[in-house]
Amino acid sequence: MLLGCATMPPRLAPVGHASKVILISFDALTGDTVERLSAEHAFSNDGFEKMRREGTFARVVPVTPTQTSVTHVSMITGALPRVTGILGNNFHHQGAPVTQVASGFSMPIGAETIVEAARRQGKRVGVLAFPSFDATNDRRQGDWGLVYTRPVTKGSLVHLTRKDFVAAPDAGPCRASFSPPLRARIPWVLAVRGQGTSRDVDLWACDSTDDGTVNYDDTRVRIGDEDIPLDPQHWFPISARIEEGGESRLYGSWSKLLRLDPRLERVAVYFGSISRNDGYPAELTRAVDAAAGFNPGPPDLDAAKVWLATGDGLDPESFVEQVDRLAAFHSASTIAAMKTETFDLLLLYESIVDESQHQFLLTAPDQEYSTPSNRAAAAHVVRDAFAAADRGVATILAAVPPGTAMIVTGDHGMAPAVYDVRLNQLLIDWGLAQASKGALGPDSRWGAYGSGENVQLYRFAGTDDSAALIDRLQRLQGPDGTAVFERVERRTSADHPDAGDLLAYTHTRYVINMTLGDPFVKLVTYGQHGGLNLHHELHTAVFAVGPGVAHAHPAPVQQTKLARYIAELLGIEAPRNAE
């Protein structure tokens, strides 16, 4: 085939049609990192590299602000935020009370999505945990799908000492114990909207060595009279069903024995968060539960922070094990869904590289807890997370039905950040806002709504003092004397009606926090995004392979071109507002 590198198309364009299209969005699939890891041969031959080798690859310039809800909606509508009305993960809806924050994940989308466009043209669409598709109304769901779910409990670290262990009445699961078998009981509590159940998780300490000393080297987990085997990394699952809305729902968690010393003075167990699958129709939930198990939930950033700060907590290796398990779950659940349901278009979302970089993009010496060993451990986590994403791509690519084109992209990249900026606290300190119940008060003249590196400031009352505020923001410096804002501008007539009076973007080392307190706090969630798309670290990438896909590596493409590209591959009209 001579179609290929000799004829570089100037834009992202197919050369034919596919009977089915799968779009996978890896949140924060940073273009720079993809290219660096590819150059370092960190990927398999069957995932990203296969797609690049056999299909289309380009860098993608996301829309501004480079924030998850904004970029996903622009990706699937082909329209800019000023058209979609999804202006930030946090912004403010005109006319709403000062105290009300509009979420980009739930506000109405002011443009047709590729899901709506495909369905109106008779195509069948599946949507797996894709942002904005929360199944709250017909516009926000496919013909079938899984809804993105958050855990119903947080993960926790349980520390035990010898006094937490009591003598057991028998050897229990300890086959032969040369010291008296001991047992510690940890409750596992599942409570959801008034429903719930609990389990007593017994951690047994056994002694497998006949060395004449009272010490312990072996641990067993038992619930009631059921032994729960530990995997080679000492993880174990706990699950339970509860009745909800006439359905029996499977909930579960993965926990890990982190540490066991012979004298049982420093035993540490990580109890994982509890999650479930939430699909429609119910039959899909059952199929995913059966094939992939309960949703393992996201890797635990809070427990990882404890490790970075103190060396206790969830170590990076365990965090990566969580990432790997979630990636494997996504592959297995996607394959189960493809077997259970038919589709012409399938949208799939994965969060693993986003979560891993949020917590572990620890690259700058002035970030909190930035020691050489922490930076080295962090770099491994990021690399492993991208490798897990690559394995997921390879697994799904190998399982897609014949005639399927697969597109893999991200919503934005990620940059290392150093400080949280509490801008509403500064507005209060400057006499422009007031506090009430620990948050921005209803009588504030100005309010700041944002997250990551973008914020919109709205003037609710009083004379127009925006020129003075622009001047303050432009002169604002952080604790290290560097400028906080990269750009502060007034809204124009081209902006969406919900846009702030002022639109501001921080330099990537600063991020906006809407809570009150110290104006500047060092971040322990290191990787951030949301700022201007001028930063190459905030760019992402697109890969495509399969029927109708060109073998081409075009110049960087705008994110708003993706919706039309998907439509062209499927041979349907693009969404109505698509560029």
| Contacts with Zn ion, residue ranges (CB under 5 A) | 27, 68, 411
Which residues is 160 bridged to in the sheet? 267
Least distance (Å) between residue 296 CB and Zn ion: 20
Centre a 10 Å sphere on the Cβ of residue 25 and count the other Cβ atoms it contains: 26
Residue with tokens 């009591």: 166
Least distance (Å) between residue 62 CB and Zn ion: 9
Report d(CA 53, CA 45) in Å as an integer.
9
Least distance (Å) between residue 414 CB and Zn ion: 9
Q: Tell me how far apart the terminal alpha carbons of the chain are, to the nearest angstrom.
A: 31
| 490: its two tokens | 């007034």
Is the Cβ of residue 340 or residue 454 nearer to Zn ion in the bound state?
Answer: 454
Which residues are within 8 A (CB) of 158 and not within 5 positions of it... i.e. 6 or more apart?
186, 268, 269, 270, 271
Is the Cβ of residue 29 or residue 101 nearer to Zn ion in the bound state?
Answer: 29
CB 87 within 8 A of CB 70: yes
**Amino acid sitting at position 122:** G
Is the Cβ of residue 27 or residue 350 nearer to Zn ion in the bound state?
Answer: 27
CB 88 within 8 A of CB 72: no
Least distance (Å) between residue 412 CB and Zn ion: 6
Is the Cβ of residue 352 or residue 432 nearer to Zn ion in the bound state?
Answer: 352
Least distance (Å) between residue 572 CB and Zn ion: 27
Is the Cβ of residue 239 or residue 559 nearer to Zn ion in the bound state?
Answer: 559
Q: Cβ-closest residue to Zn ion?
A: 68
Is the Cβ of residue 344 or residue 355 nearer to Zn ion in the bound state?
Answer: 355
Which residues are within 8 A (CB) of 414 and not within 5 positions of it... i.e. 6 or more apart?
28, 30, 33, 354, 357, 358, 361, 527, 528, 529, 537, 538
Which residues are within 8 A (CB) of 359 and not within 5 positions of it... i.e. 6 or more apart?
299, 301, 304, 305, 319, 381, 525, 526, 527
* Apex 274 CA angle, 272 and 277, nearest 5: 135
Is the Cβ of residue 542 or residue 572 nearer to Zn ion in the bound state?
Answer: 542
Centre a 10 Å sphere on the Cβ of residue 239 and count the other Cβ atoms it contains: 18
Largest CA-CA distance found in the chain, in angstroms, rounded: 84
Least distance (Å) between residue 230 CB and Zn ion: 34
Least distance (Å) between residue 68 CB and Zn ion: 3
CB 529 within 8 A of CB 66: yes
What is the DSSP track for 188-216?
EEEEETTEEEEEEEEEEEE----SSS---
CB 313 within 8 A of CB 94: no
Least distance (Å) between residue 89 CB and Zn ion: 9
Is the Cβ of residue 289 or residue 350 nearer to Zn ion in the bound state?
Answer: 350
Is the Cβ of residue 542 or residue 569 nearer to Zn ion in the bound state?
Answer: 542
Is the Cβ of residue 68 or residue 508 nearer to Zn ion in the bound state?
Answer: 68
| 222: its two tokens | 């038992």
Encode burial over 140-162: b for 16+ CB neighbours within 10 A, e otherwise.
bbbbbbbbbeebbbebebbebee
What is the DSSP track for 24-85?
EEETT--HHHHHHHHHTT-S-TTTHHHHHHHSEEEEEEPPSS--HHHHHHHHHH---HHHH-
Is the Cβ of residue 68 or residue 340 nearer to Zn ion in the bound state?
Answer: 68
Least distance (Å) between residue 411 CB and Zn ion: 4
Distances in Å between the alpha carbon of 459 and those of 226, 441, 448, 467, 493?
61, 13, 9, 12, 16
- Nearest 10 degrees: CA dihedral of 59, 62, 68, 73? -110
Is the Cβ of residue 77 or residue 318 nearer to Zn ion in the bound state?
Answer: 77
Which residues are within 8 A (CB) of 70 and not within 5 positions of it... i.e. 6 or more apart?
63, 81, 84, 86, 87, 88, 89, 104
Least distance (Å) between residue 528 CB and Zn ion: 11
| 9: its two tokens | 């198309």
Report d(CA 6, CA 332) in Å as an integer.
38
**Amino acid sitting at position 397:** L
Is the Cβ of residue 273 or residue 351 nearer to Zn ion in the bound state?
Answer: 351
Is the Cβ of residue 61 or residue 182 nearer to Zn ion in the bound state?
Answer: 61
Is the Cβ of residue 65 or residue 297 nearer to Zn ion in the bound state?
Answer: 65
Least distance (Å) between residue 354 CB and Zn ion: 5
Least distance (Å) between residue 25 CB and Zn ion: 8
Report d(CA 453, CA 60) in Å as an integer.
19
Least distance (Å) between residue 59 CB and Zn ion: 17
Burial (CB count within 10 angstroms: exposed 0-12, middle 13-18, buried 19+), residue 342: exposed
Least distance (Å) between residue 315 CB and Zn ion: 25
Least distance (Å) between residue 77 CB and Zn ion: 16
